[in-house]
A = this chain, B = another copy of it.
Amino acid sequence: MTMSDRRTQILDAAATLISERGFTSTSVDDVIKGAKLSGKSHFYHYFKSKEELGYEVLNRQFERFAERGLAILREPMIDPLERLNLFIDAVVALQSESGGRRGSPFGNLAAELADAHEGFRVRIEAVFERWASQIRSLLWEARPQLHDDVDAVRLSRFIIAALEGAVLMTRVKRDLSVLEGIAADLKRFIAMHVRDGAAIQLHRNLE
Contacts and interface: CB of A to CB of B under 8 A. Distances in A.
Interface of A: 20-22, 24-25, 101-103, 107-108, 110-112, 114-116, 121, 124-125, 128, 151, 153-155, 157-158, 160-166, 168-169, 171-174, 178, 181-182, 184-186, 188-189, 192
Given A112-B22, A154-B185, A125 B165 contact: no
Given A157-B181, A161-B168, 14 more contacts: A110-B168, A121-B174, A124-B172, A128-B169, A128-B172, A153-B181, A155-B185, A158-B162, A160-B165, A161-B178, A161-B182, A162-B162, A185-B189, A192-B192
Nearest to A162: B162
Nearest to A180: B154
Contact of A192 (B107, B151, B189): B189
A128 B173 contact: yes
A160 B154 CA distance: 18
Closest 7 CB pairs of A and B: A165-B165, A111-B111, A161-B165, A164-B165, A154-B181, A161-B166, A158-B185
A173 B178 CA distance: 26
B21 A115 contact: yes
22 contacts: A21-B115, A22-B24, A24-B24, A110-B168, A114-B168, A114-B171, A121-B174, A125-B173, A151-B181, A154-B181, A155-B185, A157-B169, A157-B182, A161-B166, A161-B168, A161-B169, A163-B165, A164-B164, A164-B168, A165-B165, A165-B166, A189-B189
